[in-house]
């Protein structure tokens, strides 16, 4: 079993997509071992997106992700990192495969409903950033 970090971003929460996305996760067979709705602090957002710090969109990205509640999740299942990323679809919804979350719900590259760790190492780092010891189910 592998764990990954997943997030429903502020645009997805604002649009009421949380129940639909949780249903898709359940239908895929992933186990939700951590779940919380929260507003991300600026410091946490800057740490979370630190690999983008030098890019011109960094400030806009941090402003967006801290601009409303998100749903942070820890998912567990076979090949959860790759599987969740496949479920999300391409970052740009115009390039996302039909039936993926972003193809179905995202409006722009900047407001693309979801986030998912891009590797097992990123998943471990992101899970540690959003969930304290003891918050995840065994």
Q: Are 100 and 88 in contact (CB under 8 A)?
A: yes
Both tokens of 32, joined, read 């939700």
Active-site positions read 115
CA distance readout (Å), 132 to 58, 77, 121: 26, 20, 17
- Residue 29 CB partners (closer than 8 Å, separation 6+): 77
């Amino acid at each position: 079993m592998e764990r990954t970090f997943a997030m429903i971003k502020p645009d997805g929460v604002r649009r009421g997509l949380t129940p639909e996305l949780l249903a898709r996760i359940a239908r895929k067979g992933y186990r939700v071992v951590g779940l919380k709705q929260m507003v991300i602090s600026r410091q946490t957002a800057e740490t979370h997106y630190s690999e983008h710090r030098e890019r011109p969109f960094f400030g806009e990205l941090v402003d967006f992700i801290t601009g409303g509640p998100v749903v942070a999740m820890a998912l567990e299942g076979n090949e959860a990192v790759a599987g969740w990323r496949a479920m999300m679809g391409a970052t740009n919804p115009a390039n996302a495969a039909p039936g993926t979350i972003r193809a179905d719900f995202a409006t722009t590259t900047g407001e693309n409903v979801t986030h998912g760790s891009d590797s097992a190492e990123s998943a471990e780092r992101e899970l540690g950033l959003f969930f304290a010891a003891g918050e995840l189910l065994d």
